[in-house]
Each structure stands twice: as structure tokens, then as C-alpha cells.
Chains A and B, each alone.
Chain A
Amino acid sequence: MNLYAAIFYLLAVILLVSTTVAITRRDAIHAVVYLMISFIATGLIFYLLGAPFLALLEILIYAGAIMVLFLFIVMMLRLTPSRRTGRDALSQWAPAAVLGGLSLILAAVIISADPATGPALKTLTAGPRELAQFLFQKYWFPVEIASFLLLIALVGALFLGRQEKKEPKTPRPEGL
């Protein structure tokens, strides 16, 4: 076990623990904060796996923008932590846990059955220059589409978030 592997496992543990804690919080704000930790850990893993630019993007966009957006909304809606009674906690989590466990086993079987995943990953890095050249040479069209998608999302969010005009409660009679 070399240094990189140790770092990887450490980051993996942090990632999993923080995610697990995040999804079991009653308060949405707590969940978001723990998730930020999780995303930072993910970003670091990206760096380890030879994608420094993506690591940056992950932290900037995911942890920085998306999670902050979540926070905005939670605070705007004044969502209070739900009072979860012990009785329906089991009925809520049980089916998900069962299915999750089952999927875990099945997918683990699938992954371990593939011999190509055996050898260790190499320590290569793709710098931003290489990534940018690659992206804009080969996949410039999807980039344009992605930006268009962002535009659509913007318009959609604007439309959905607009304030509805309030109707007068009593219909005013004509001529008065």
C-alpha cells in the first residue's frame, strides 16, 4: 500500500461517512453542510485520480454554487426540521435499506466478476491545458449544447420562480 492508496482510502472514508451523516439529518441545513464536506472530499479524490481541473470545478460549482443554492432555498422557505417519530422511521427506511443492500450485493458481484478492473490505476494527470484542448477540439458541440441547456434552465427557473399576481378577493362590480 503506497501513499496514494492510503490517501485514497482516507478520502473514501471521509466521503462515505459525511454522506451517510448528511442523509440522516433532520435539519436540511445540517444535511447541506455535511454534503459540502462530502463534495470537497470528492474533489480531492478527483485530484488524486488525475483530474485537477475537475477537482476545482467540483468544489467551485458543486460545493460552492449548488449547495449554496440549496441553502438559499431552505432559508427562504423557512423549512423547519421535521418531527420524525420513531414509529414511521422504520417503515420509511426499511424498504430503501433492503433494496439498497440487495443492490449493493448484486452490483458488487458484477464489479468483481469483471477481470479488467483488477490492475491498479496509474498515476497520470491531465492538466487543464490538455483537457481544454481535448474538450474544445473534439466535443465543442456538446459544450455549446450545454451552455444552451444552462440558458433554458435559467429561463425555466425564472419562470417558475416568479410571483403570481394576486387576484382581488371580492370582484368589483362594474361601473363603481
Chain B
Amino acid sequence: MKAYLLFTLVLPFLGSLTLALAGRHLPRRGVEVLACSTILLSCLAALLALISAGPNPQTVILLPWISTEGFSAPMSVLYDPLAGIMALMVTFVSALIHLYSVSFMRDDDGYVRYFCYLNLFVFSMLVVTLADNLLFLYLGWEGVGFCSYALIGFWYSDEVRAAAGRKAFILTRIGDVAFGIAIALFFALYRDLSLAVLNQKAPGLDPSLATALGLLLLWAAVGKSAQLPLAVWLPDAMAGPTPVSALIHAATMVTAGVYLLMRFFPVISLSPAALSAVAVVGAVSSLFAACAALAQRDIKRVLAYSTISQVSYMFMGVGAGDVGGSMFHLLSHAFFKALLFLAAGCIIQSLHEEHDIFRMGGLRRSLPGVFLLFLAGALSLAAIPPFGGFFSKDRILLAVFNQAGGGYQLLGVLGEVTAFLTALYTFRVFFLVFGDRPASGTVGSSALPEAGLRPLPKFMVGILWPLAFLSLAAGALNLPGLFSGGEWLDRALAGMPGGAPPSNSSPGVEATVMAVSGFLSVAGAVWAYFLYRRRPLPEAVTPLRQRMKDLLSSAFYLDQGYQKAIVTPYRAVSRFLWLKVDEGAVDTGIDRAGKWFPFVSLGLQQWATGRLSTYLKMVFLGFTALLGAIVLGWHPW
């Protein structure tokens, strides 16, 4: 077991290290093979570990890392079904994306740096997934943040992209502060940083402390998972290469936040206040992001807001006490969102880096493979029954409605509204990109002639079919009892805290919720069809409509608000400190102090006249002073 875990973790790290040190000397094919094979082998090791592990959690110490008197922080792993499934998903999706990247980045010269960071990212994410010791987890946590920064700003010579990387790093860092405080608090309480031990001792925790810890962990998760109020970095993070967006900002890093909450569920669940906070954050962010996605023009930005919205569903699930449901949605979201991003990458590359959906159109005939792949992802995202996303989203909504308290019912309603909007914006994109365009009249939206499309490597498109299959069939992982399904996931997670909450709902409620959500999703898709497929786009835009568009596309001016309220004053203070304090006061002060010396020296220079009379005067003066000293009693005898 330890061997499997070691392989899982160490292989990507070794790959990254080798590429960092020697990547320049290897041939291009060698670099690609090395990078992909480390992840594939790691995936195999994760699979073997999952198969050979039992349902009980086990702690395995891999390396003694920090070990001093009275304090030790070993690199230890807490392996339970939750971690095992998550590790398998991470490595599998990473492997597919590595393979896709080989094709996608075929024209880029920075491939060594790219694969090095990508491997390092996988390692860090696996650390987050598997770690038992909190310092080890923090190491991975920071590692994913750093790799995200490095990969978002991959084309760093473009100032905008570099700024996007910085923004992501700073905002996730704001969340990490809370995590650091939480770790310190844990240490202060228990003098032990092992997750297993903490979860075990959790029931004895004081409720207010549990609330505090829960809120701190929530803030950390909000930063990493781009929820409100720290959501503004994810849309800008689309400046990175598309496979990076697929891996980091769809399947893995943004789910790390909610995964953290799942791992700490025994602690958080002690505090109803913290749980409701989680659910509220989830519900509000979800609606917020869905509204914003409705008005985006860049295809990747639609998917970014969609990610925020779907991760919010996972938050809602945790807040409702259903870790299994959240995990279910996490898995299915990983599949369909990665698929959607990668398909978008294909579209963007074939249209010569065109991102604007209003300039696309008619791709159903030009890119039939991508059309089908995107459709698969869209069906799952919009939660059209009976495809994967439907079951997972429905499970979460059911858990929310089942929770006691009127607040949760309201959150459930918000969730249903968001489901409708999700279908709406998903199919908006779908029809705009793939549907036929009116040939004439509409401004700025002419379909590109087929000859102008860039040919895509077959491999790049072909690698996506497994993901399409998984996203459509993901429902099979955990078909609810209503359909006499297997409920495999629930059973796998049965031993986990919050894994399979007792369903205190009658089958009637369950069926009602399912029917409502299914109806809303289909309705959203149909309305999108009528809006974007049949009718030509309106040419004249009324001022009210324009204001609505601006409001939504800028995500309720949240980013601008932050810029004005925080960034600009901060920059002003920083500028002030730089110019006035550092250069003005400190530097100038030192300069003046330095210049004071020559000034004094010049003054003293007046004495050295070279004239005898001056020196004689000085001798006489000294003599007088000596007499004065004797009179005052300062004499040595």
C-alpha cells in the first residue's frame, strides 16, 4: 500500500524535477513522453491503491519530514475511500489532459516549462488530496496556488496574462491566510497536526471554536474555489492555455477548496452555523455566476463562470451535510467540464485563436467530432436527464431541500433557478457556436468559410471521447434507489462522515424534486434554442438592454468594485510609500546625511589655512582652554 502511494505521489514530482533540471537537453518527444508517462503510471498506482484498500481509513507515513523535540510533521497520508476516489479522478483527468496538451502545445516553444509546471501541479494536487499532516497539506495547497500562477501567466511576455496570474495568486493567498490561522488554531488546541487525529477528537470541540474553525476553513475554500467574494480571479485566469484551464480551473484546483471542507467535515459538521454559511455561500455564488455567464462573449469566460456556479453546488452539498452528493457532483463535473474546456480549446485553435462566440457559427458541419463532444458535455452540464450531471445536481438539491430549517428551502429554490439558468447559458453557447447562422445582415457575425479553418490533429479530438462517455454515463456511479440503481458511490463512501446521509425523505419528495429540476433544465435548453437558433440576433440594442448586458457581463461589477475599493487605494498608498517615504524620506535622508559629511568637512577645512598665524592663534586658544579647565577643576592632579 505504501508503495502504491509513494508511486502515486513521487512520480509526478520526479517528472517535474527532471524536466526542470534536464528538460532542455532532452528531445521534444522525450519531454512529452516523460511528462505523460509519469502521470499515467501515477494513475495506475492510484487505481491499484484504491483496489487494494479496504473501506476503513488508514494513515500511512511516507517520509519523516520535520522532526524535532516535541514537534514532528511527517509527510503522512490519510487514505480513505474519499481520498482514493479523488486521487484516481485527479490522475486520470490529468493524464488525459497531458496527452491533449502534447497536441495542443505542438507549436509552442516553452513546452519544457509547461510540462514541468503541469507535473508539479499534479504532484501538489495529489498532496492536497492525500495528505494527513496539515503542514504537508499546506505545502500542497500552496503548491497548487503557485503552479496555477505560473501556468496562468504562462505566456508572461503579455502583460495582461501576467497580471491575470498575479491576480489569481493574490486572491487565493487571501484565502490561504485563513487556512494558516486554522492550522495554528488546531495546533494550539490539540498540539497535533494529523487530520486523522483531529477528526477523531472533533466531537469534544467547543461549539464556538468549531464555528470559528469552520468559518476559517470556509474562507480558505472560498479563495481556492473562486466563490464569492473571492471569485474575481477565475474569469481572468482564462488567459492561460486551455488545457491548463481544463485541468486546474475545472477539474482539480477549484475543487480542492470544497475537497478540503469534505476532509474536515467532522469538524465543520459540529457547527450548524458554519454549515449554513457554507450552503449560503454556495447558493449565492451559484446564482451570481450563472447570471454572469449569460452575458459573456468569450467562450472560455462562459465556462469559467460556469465552473464557479457548479463548484457552488458542491458547496451547497457540503453545507447540507451530504458529502457523498458533493463528491458525486465533483466527479461528474470534472468529467464534463474538462471535456467542455478541451473541446473549446479545439474550437479556438481551429478558428485561429478566436474566442468570441458571436464570431463563431456553423461549426456543426465543419467540426462534426467537436460538435458531438461539446454536445455531450453540454447535456451533462445543463443536467438534462438522464445524463450524468442531472443525477449529481439533483442529489445535491434533494439534500438541500431535506435539511431542516426554512433557510435551506430558500437555498434550494435558488439552486433550482440556477439550474434553469445553467441550461440556458450552456445551450446559448452551443447554438451560437455550432448552429447555422443567418448568412446576411447581422453585424460582425459571419461564419468563417471552411477553407479558413485550421486543421486539428486527430489525436487532439480523439482523446476526448473517453471523457464524453464518462460525462454522459456518470450518473451510473450513483443511481439513486428510485431507479433501482447501484448506488456505488454511496456504498463506497458509506464509512465516511457525511458520506451517505440518512435519507429522511419519502420517495415522493425525491421524485418531485427530480421532476422539477429535470423540467427546468429542459425548459432552459428549449428557450435557448428559440432565442439563439431560430431568431436572428436583434440589431438595435436599447439602453436598458445594454445596461443589463453590462451588469451581467461584468458580473455585477464585482471586479470593478474591488478595483476601485481596494486595489486603487492600495496602489495609491503603495505609490506614496514608494515615492514619498522610501525614495523621499529614507533615500533622500540617507543622501542628505551622506552629504552632511562633506559639508562639515568643508567647514572644518576652513581651519587648515596653511598660514602660521592661524595655527598660532589655535595654540593660544588651546592654552586659554587649558587654563579654563584648570580653573574649573578639570585637571589631573
Interface residues of A (CB under 8 A from B): 95-96, 99-100, 102-103, 106-107, 109-110
Contacts and interface: CB of A to CB of B under 8 A. Distances in A.
Contacts of B617: 95-96, 99
B578 interface: no
Contacts of A95: 617
Contacts of A102: 624, 628
Nearest to B635: A110
B204 to A, nearest CB: 86
A107 B620 contact: no
A109 B631 CA distance: 7
A110 B631 contact: yes
7 contacts: A96-B617, A96-B620, A99-B617, A103-B620, A106-B624, A106-B627, A110-B631
Nearest 8 pairs of A and B residues by beta carbon: A106-B627, A103-B624, A99-B620, A106-B631, A99-B624, A102-B624, A109-B631, A107-B627
Nearest to A103: B624
A176 B84 CA distance: 113
A110 B631 CA distance: 6
Nearest to A102: B624
B621 A106 contact: no
B459 to A, nearest CB: 96
Contacts of B631: 106, 109-110
SS of A interface (majority): helix
A35 B623 CA distance: 24
Nearest to B630: A110
Given A102-B624, A103-B620, A106-B631, 15 more contacts: A95-B617, A96-B617, A96-B620, A99-B617, A99-B620, A99-B624, A103-B623, A103-B624, A103-B627, A106-B627, A106-B628, A109-B631, A110-B627, A110-B630, A110-B631
A99 B628 CA distance: 11
Interface in B594-637: 617, 620-621, 623-624, 627-628, 630-631
Nearest to A100: B620
A95 to B, nearest CB: 6
A95 B615 CA distance: 13
Interface string B364-397: 0000000000000000000000000000000000
A4 to B, nearest CB: 30
Nearest to B623: A103
B627 A99 contact: no
A96 B617 CA distance: 7
Nearest to A92: B613
B628 to A, nearest CB: 6
- Which of A99, A106, A109, A110 is most buried by chain B, counting CB atoms within 10 A of its CB? A106
A117 to B, nearest CB: 15
A165 B617 CA distance: 37
Contacts of A103: 620, 623-624, 627
Contacts of A100: 620
A106 B631 CA distance: 7
B476 to A, nearest CB: 110
Contacts of A110: 627, 630-631
A1 B361 CA distance: 136
A99 B621 contact: yes
Nearest to B613: A92
B85 to A, nearest CB: 98
A94 to B, nearest CB: 11
Contacts of B621: 99
- Which of B623, B624, B630 is most buried by chain A, counting CB atoms within 10 A of its CB? B624
A106 B623 CA distance: 11
Contacts of B630: 106, 110
A163 B151 CA distance: 91
A37 to B, nearest CB: 25
Nearest to A113: B631
A123 to B, nearest CB: 32
Contacts of B623: 103
A102 B627 CA distance: 9
